[in-house]
Amino acid sequence: MTDFVVAGAVLIIVVLIITRAVKRGGKCSGCAGCSGCGSNSGQDLNK
């Protein structure tokens, strides 16, 4: 049971992270979706 719960939780988290990453496409992480604002801050100032 513990195996099922722990591994299941990890699998769900991994799938969610990968789905989100694929959806965002080629965007640098940390930003809301980079539009080349050049802030170099990890935050997209254009959004």
Determine the distance from the C-alpha atom of residue 33 to the mean position of all C-alpha atoms in its chain, rounded to a whole number.
Answer: 10
Instruction: Report the 10 Å Cβ neighbour count for 34.
Output: 19
- Of residues 1-47, which lie at the interface with another protein (CB under 8 A)? 2-3, 6-7, 10, 13-14, 17-18, 20-21, 25-31, 34-43, 45-46
- CB of 23 vs another protein, minimal distance in Å: 13
- Long-range own/partner contacts, residues 33-41 (CB < 8 A, 24 or more apart): none
Residues that bind another protein in the complex, under the rule CB under 8 A: 2-3, 6-7, 10, 13-14, 17-18, 20-21, 25-31, 34-43, 45-46
